[in-house]
Structure 1
Amino acid sequence: MSDLLDDDLEFRGGTLQLSTEVVSPDTSGQNQNNPNQSESITNQPKANVNPSVLSGADSLSSSSSSFADARESRANGATAETSEPAQPVYPRYDIPFDKENIKDFFTYRRGVVENAIQECITGLLFPEDGEYLGSWLLTEITLWDNEKERIVLLTSRLVMTIKYDFIAMKQLEFKKTYLDDLDTIVIGELVYPPSSLVPERNLRGVRLMWNKGEPVPMKTVWNPFSQDVPFITFASHPVFWHKEGELEDKATYDMEVFAQKLQRAIETMPSSACCIHHSPIVIQSYVGLTSILHNKASMGFFKVRGKFSF
């Protein structure tokens, strides 16, 4: 029954477009007050006020020092004007599900995720796949804005996304995405177009893209069963918000940790031309009735549902 409910139909419309318009900040007043600062102000990076509708990218960086977890950066900004030590401050997240509901998830049970990941590593990874770098249980957000529970394995050559049955404890299907094929990675808040009726998620994610800047073909956009979507989007798994312990204890469910290690893997590949963007990720959903029902009922996750489990 889970396989039948994974694919939901929804009428969607929209236009994918890229914008590169940039606007320089107004520093004329500052230059008049302090002429000695004119040269340093002129060299400041420009800001993009019209992020790409496809990727939401408005800034480009491939430096490891440029990556900053939003939880840490906001904490540093909040304490910059005080002498108190910095404390971790979370962004404005909408925590998925509640403490009682999360206990129905099979992945909340002790040892289930660890055993599943070990099985996938043993059965699916081979020496030619490169050096093993890490494994996670994350939420995949599809082109149609449906949330799916996925095991993610990262090596020095690829990202493997695995659909796993946590009830029967077996692999169902998997997909390999090679790092050499990636041309863009976007890390930031998940947002919807201005004209969308879908409520904001208030959640961060990471998107891996290999479309070389081209819009998604219409035959793919309008086909909910298409396997040719040139990007994949991940967010933290719901268990992350409810599992007890420090951030290190919840790293298996944390998208931020995956994004950090993915960026480092890209930067250590001399042949990679992939660009790292830190900006909002646009989800092209305008009405989203089907996806809202799908995600609210957590149909993409294996859990106990009354007298049934699927």
Structure 2
Amino acid sequence: MSTIGSFEGLQPVSPKQEGDDQTSETDQLSTEEGDPGTVSGPRQTSRPPSVTESALYPSPYQQPHISQKYFVTRPGAIETATEDLKGHITKTSGEKIQGFWLSTEIDRWNNEKERILLVTDRVLLICKYDFIMLSCVQLQWIPLSAVYGICLGKFSFPTMSLDKRQGEGLRIYRGSPEQQSLLSGWNPWSTEVPYATFTEHPVKYTSEKFLEIKSSGFMSKLVPAIQNAHRDSTGSGRGKGLMVLTEPILIETYTGLMSFTGNCNKLGYSLAGSVGF
């Protein structure tokens, strides 16, 4: 296979100091002690630089009232999710989890879907987690030995497409497109698509906590895990090895009415005041 997923606006501001609009006592004394016969022009008082400067968020695209609508940003939400998943995976498979990453999956129809990614020694897990009810809705297991390629790059669309997106992402290939049936290819809920595409989650820059679970950390764990899985696996009919490419990621949508509506309203996320899917 959330190297995954650059989002301008808010600028650092300097809080206004009390008394900035009033002439200081020093200025008043200087005026009073001056030569009575001297006529002076308008004075420009020099003010000390502001003691504090602050920026609301590292990314100017994020605003507090917007980021707080995502349930994943609520206190304890992501921690609860990771503990739930860790306990479930350890109990059911005994796999050792190497890390958790919050990401956005983009399906072949260009729909955004909130996901948690997990990497173990042998498996990549893609989790659909309900941050409202704090429960795992779907967990997809992908053997790392089946992953043969990772593509990093900007998103691209057919020339006549009306539904386009900016930004970069990564795509993880785990099978040949020729092996996909026509039915699964046109089924938006199919899990048989031989690749998965991801980009950064919208709340990536809202806090240090989410910056720590971004895509660059994901790739640093995923690539070595896949290489180790290839070395350990036996009986594969194809040659071992992992291809990591840097090239545009094609999303074959043309009209994209459903994805445009869903992505504008963030229906693929656990969002306050919204009905997701």
**TM-score scaled by length of structure 1:** 0.62
Preserved CA contact (<8 Å) 2:123 2:144: yes
- Give the 3-state SS of the residue equivalent to 2:126 in structure 1: strand
> Matches of 1:192 and 1:249 in 2, distance apart?
29
Q: Does 1:268 align with 2:231?
A: no
The CA deviation at 1:168 is: 1.2
Q: Determine the structure 1 residue equivalent to 2:149.
A: 184
Aligned-residue sequence identity (percent) comes to 29
Structure 1 pair 95/133, CA: closer, same or farther in 2 (3 Å)? farther
Q: Determine the structure 1 residue equivalent to 2:108.
A: 143
Q: Does 1:259 align with 2:222?
A: no
One-letter code aligned to 1:122: G
Q: Deviations for 1:59-91, whole angstroms, at most 9, x for unmatched residues?
A: xxxxxxxxx9999xxxxxxxxxxxxxxxxxxxx
> Matches of 1:235 and 1:70 in 2, distance apart?
4
The CA deviation at 1:129 is: 5.6
- Structure 2 residue aligned with 1:295, among 247, 260, 263? 263
> Matches of 2:199 and 2:219 in 1, distance apart?
10
One-letter code aligned to 2:211: K
Q: Which moved more, 1:207-216 or 1:106-115?
A: 207-216
One-letter code aligned to 1:223: N
- Give the 3-state SS of the residue equivalent to 2:69 in structure 1: coil
Q: Does 1:244 align with 2:244?
A: no
> Matches of 2:219 and 2:96 in 1, distance apart?
17
The CA deviation at 1:174 is: 0.8
Q: Deviations for 1:2-50, whole angstroms, at most 9, x for unmatched residues?
A: xxxxxxxxxxxxxxxxxxxxxxxxxxxxxxxxxxxxxxxxxxxxxxxxx
Q: Determine the structure 2 residue equivalent to 1:119.
A: 84
Preserved CA contact (<8 Å) 2:100 2:116: yes
**TM-score scaled by length of structure 2:** 0.68
Preserved CA contact (<8 Å) 1:207 1:233: yes
Preserved CA contact (<8 Å) 2:204 2:210: no
Structure 1 pair 70/231, CA: closer, same or farther in 2 (3 Å)? closer
Q: Does 1:277 align with 2:277?
A: no
Structure 1 pair 277/171, CA: closer, same or farther in 2 (3 Å)? same
Structure 1 pair 109/138, CA: closer, same or farther in 2 (3 Å)? same
Unaligned runs of 5+ in 1: 1-67, 72-93
Equivalences for 1:1-310 in 2 at 5 Å? Answer: 98-126=63-91, 128=93, 130-201=95-166, 203-212=167-176, 214=178, 216-241=180-205, 243-245=206-208, 250-252=211-213, 254-269=214-229, 270=231, 271=233, 272-305=240-273
Higher helix residue share: 1
Structure 1 pair 260/280, CA: closer, same or farther in 2 (3 Å)? farther
Q: Larger Rg: 1 or 2?
A: 2
Aligned residues: 215
Preserved CA contact (<8 Å) 1:159 1:179: yes
Structure 1 pair 232/282, CA: closer, same or farther in 2 (3 Å)? same
The CA deviation at 1:126 is: 4.8
Structure 1 pair 257/109, CA: closer, same or farther in 2 (3 Å)? same
